[in-house]
Amino acid sequence: MARSALLNVMVQAALKAGKSLSRDFGEVQNLQVSVKGPGDFVSQADLKAQKIIRDELMKARPTYGFLGEEGEEVKGTDGAHRWIVDPLDGTTNFLHGIPLFSVSIALERNDEIVAGVIFNPATDELYTTERGGGAFLNDRRLRVASRRVLSDSVIGCGVPHLGRGNHGKFLVELRHVMGEVAGVRRLGSASLDLAYVAAGRFDGFWETGLFPWDIAAGILLIREAGGFVSDFHGGTDMLGTNSIICGNEHIQKALAEVVKRPIPTK
């Protein structure tokens, strides 16, 4: 696949950060870890990876804004462009030696995501996309799965944990979904969940309580793989509402109807 100069910059930043994460993954027991909140951790690996990514991106485009998970947003003098970065999506997996984590980098132009990269250094899987240019896994073009009914589908989700999310509401959603589908999965990295939808591994995915850096790259990846994405209100403000429901045309619509069923009253 032909990549633009900007996408090449993003890929190189992701690969460089991934190399650092791979080294730290092998020595995870020696990492310094801090607690940001209940069940929410940050390690020296996260911080080092974000610095690598930021240095690479800002060297190439110093006027662009930068929004990363670790640290405050930096406004760019450009005004139209912003990098949205999660240097280690799946920190809890990483710290437990589970090889499901990723680097996620997206480029936003005038409030629209125009390029994205998701990289899992543990499996050497590199997902790339540009608006109008398709979605790829290690240069193989991606298409979302073609299943048309939930009963044939495997659906990904996010599971709220200690200190995060509305546990009761999620359990109702899960009860509704699990009665309609062939299987439900949770990876522990929203970026990879969305990449799996784009790759046709998951037929759909839903989650609330997300942040822009969790989903920005994945949103474009799914769209460029022929998928449909909405927020929980049926609109397209996924970054603003911190919610997402996605799949192909049929599954996204059916999944949205199921997860939004009213909570039963006594």
Annotated binding site for Mg(2+): 69, 86, 88-89, 214
Structure tokens at 128: 């790339």
Number of Cα atoms under 13 Å in the Cβ half of residue 200: 14
Sheet hosting strand 65-68, strand order edge to edge: 65-68, 81-89, 102-109, 112-120, 125-130, 134-137, 140-141
CA gap 246, 206 in Å, rounded: 7
CA gap 68, 57 in Å, rounded: 12
How many secondary structure helices (H) and strands (E) does the chain include? 8, 14
Name which of 96, 92, 16 is nearest 48 in CA terms: 16
Which residues make up each annotated binding site?
A: 69, 86, 88-89, 214
Q: Which amino acid is at 246?
A: C
User: Which one-letter DSSP state was computed for residue 262?
Assistant: P
Structural contact between residues 31 and 45, judged by C-beta atoms closer than 8 angstroms: yes
CA gap 83, 109 in Å, rounded: 9
Structure tokens at 93: 């997996």
Name which of 213, 210, 209, 220 is nearest 72 in CA terms: 213
Structural contact between residues 83 and 107, judged by C-beta atoms closer than 8 angstroms: yes
